[in-house]
Chain A
Amino acid sequence: MLIFFLLLQGTSLYMLFTYNNFHHSIYTIFSSELSGKVFDRVNNVEEYFSLKKENQSLRLQNAALLSRLPSGLIVADSSFSLVADTLKNDSISVVRQFEYMPAKVLSNSVFLQQNYIMLHRGSDQGVLNNMAVVGPDGVIGTVVGTSKNMSIVMSLLHRQSKLIAVMKKGSGLGEVSWDGKDPAILSLNKIPQTVNVKKGDTVITSPYSDRFPPGMTIGYIEEVDQDQETNTYILKVRTSTDFYSIQHAYVVKNILEDEMQELKRKIIKE
Chain B
Amino acid sequence: MRFILKNSFRFFIIFFIQVFILSKVPPLHQFIVPYFYFILILWLPFRTSRTSLLFYGFVLGMIVDMFYKTPGLHTAASLLIAFMRPYIINLLLPKEVTEWGDDEPSRFSMGALPYSTYILFLTLLHNGYLILLEWIQFGSFLYFIGKLIGTSVVSLLLILITELFVHRKTRSR
Chain B CB within 8 A of A5 CB: yes
Give A1-24 interface residues, CB cut-off 8 Å to B: 1, 4-5, 8-9, 11-17, 19
Residues of A within 8 A of B68 (CB): 109, 112
Judge whether B67 and A35 touch: CB under 8 Å: yes
Q: How many residues of B contact A (CB 8 A)?
A: 32
In the complex, are the beta carbons of A19 and B25 less than 8 A apart? no
The answer to whether A237 has its CB under 8 Å from any CB of chain B is no
CB <8 Å contact, A111 and B134: no
Q: How far is the CA of A194 from the CA of B29 in the complex (A)?
A: 35
Assess whether B172 is interfacial by the CB under 8 Å rule: no
Q: Which of B71-79, B88-96, B111-119 contacts A (4 or more CB under 8 A)?
A: B71-79
The answer to whether A116 and B79 touch across the interface, beta carbons within 8 angstroms, is: no
Q: Does B26 belong to the interface (CB within 8 Å)? A: yes
Give min CB distance, B46 to chain A, whole Å: 17
Which of B36-44, B50-58, B98-106, B162-170 is near enough to bind chain A? B50-58
Given A12-B61, A35-B66, A35-B67, are A113 and B134 neighbors across the interface (CB < 8 Å)? yes
Q: Is A133 at the interface (CB under 8 A from chain B)?
A: no
Of residues 5 through 50 on chain B, the ones whose CB sits less than 8 Å from some CB of chain A are: 20, 23-27, 30, 33, 50
User: How many residues from A make CB contacts under 8 Å with B?
Assistant: 34
A residues in contact with B139, CB < 8 Å = 113, 159, 180
Q: When the two chains form the complex, which single residue of B58, B66, B70 contacts A8, counting CB atoms closer than 8 Å? A: B58
**What is the 8 Å Cβ interface bit string for chain A, positions 108-140, against chain B (1 contact, 0 not)?**
010111101010000000000000000000000
Which residues does chain A contribute within 8 Å of B61, judged by CB atoms? 12
Q: Is the CB of B70 within 8 A of A16?
A: yes
Cβ-based interface call for A231 (8 A):
no
Within 8 A of A (CB), among B105-157: 133-134, 137-139
> What residue of chain B has the Cβ atom nearest to residue A111's Cβ?
B27
Partner of A13, one of B50, B67, B76: B76
Q: Which residue of B lies closest to A17 (CB)?
A: B72
Determine the distance from Cα of A118 to Cα of B138 in the docked complex, in whole angstroms. Answer: 23
* Chain B residues, Cβ within 8 Å of A112: 23, 33, 68, 70
> In the complex, are the beta carbons of B76 and A5 less than 8 A apart?
no
**Once bound together, how far apart are the Cα atoms of A181 and B26, in whole Å?**
12
A205-217 vs B, CB cutoff 8 Å, 1 = contact: the mask equals 0000000000000
Selected from B24, B54, B72, B137, the residue in CB contact (under 8 A) with A4 is B54
Q: Which residue, of A12, A17, A116, has the highest number of chain B Cβ atoms within 10 A?
A: A12
Decide yes or no: A114 and B70 within 8 Å by CB, A4-B54, A159-B138 being known contacts. Answer: yes
Q: Is B173 an interface residue (CB 8 A)?
A: no
How many angstroms between the C-alpha atoms of A124 and B143 in the bound complex? 41
Partner of A152, one of B26, B67, B69, B134: B69
| Given A35-B66, A159-B138, residue A15 in contact with residue B50 (CB < 8 A) | no
Q: Quick check: B26 and A9 within 8 Å, CB to CB?
A: no
Contact A16 B67 (CB under 8 A): no
Answer whether residue A44 sits at the interface, using C-beta atoms and an 8 A cutoff: no
Q: Is A42 an interface residue (CB 8 A)?
A: yes
In the complex, whether A160 has a CB less than 8 A from a CB of chain B is: yes
Least CB distance from B57 to A in Å reads 8
Known A9-B79, A159-B139; contact A16-B71, beta-carbon cutoff 8 A: yes
B80 touches A9 (CB 8 A): yes
Interface string of A159-185 (1 = CB under 8 A from B): 110000000000000000000111000
Contacts of B137 in A (CB 8 A): 159-160
CA distance A35 to B64 in the complex (A): 10
Are the CB atoms of B72 and A12 closer together than 8 Å? yes
Give the CA-CA distance A159 to B139 in the complex, in Å: 9
- B→A interface (CB under 8 Å): 20, 23-27, 30, 33, 50-51, 54, 58, 61, 65-73, 75-76, 79-80, 83, 133-134, 137-139
Residues of A within 8 A of B (CB): 1, 4-5, 8-9, 11-17, 19, 27, 31, 34-35, 38-39, 42, 107, 109, 111-114, 116, 118, 152, 159-160, 180-182
Q: Which 8 residue pairs are nearest across A and B when measured between Cβ atoms?
A: A16-B72, A15-B72, A12-B75, A12-B72, A15-B71, A12-B76, A159-B138, A31-B66
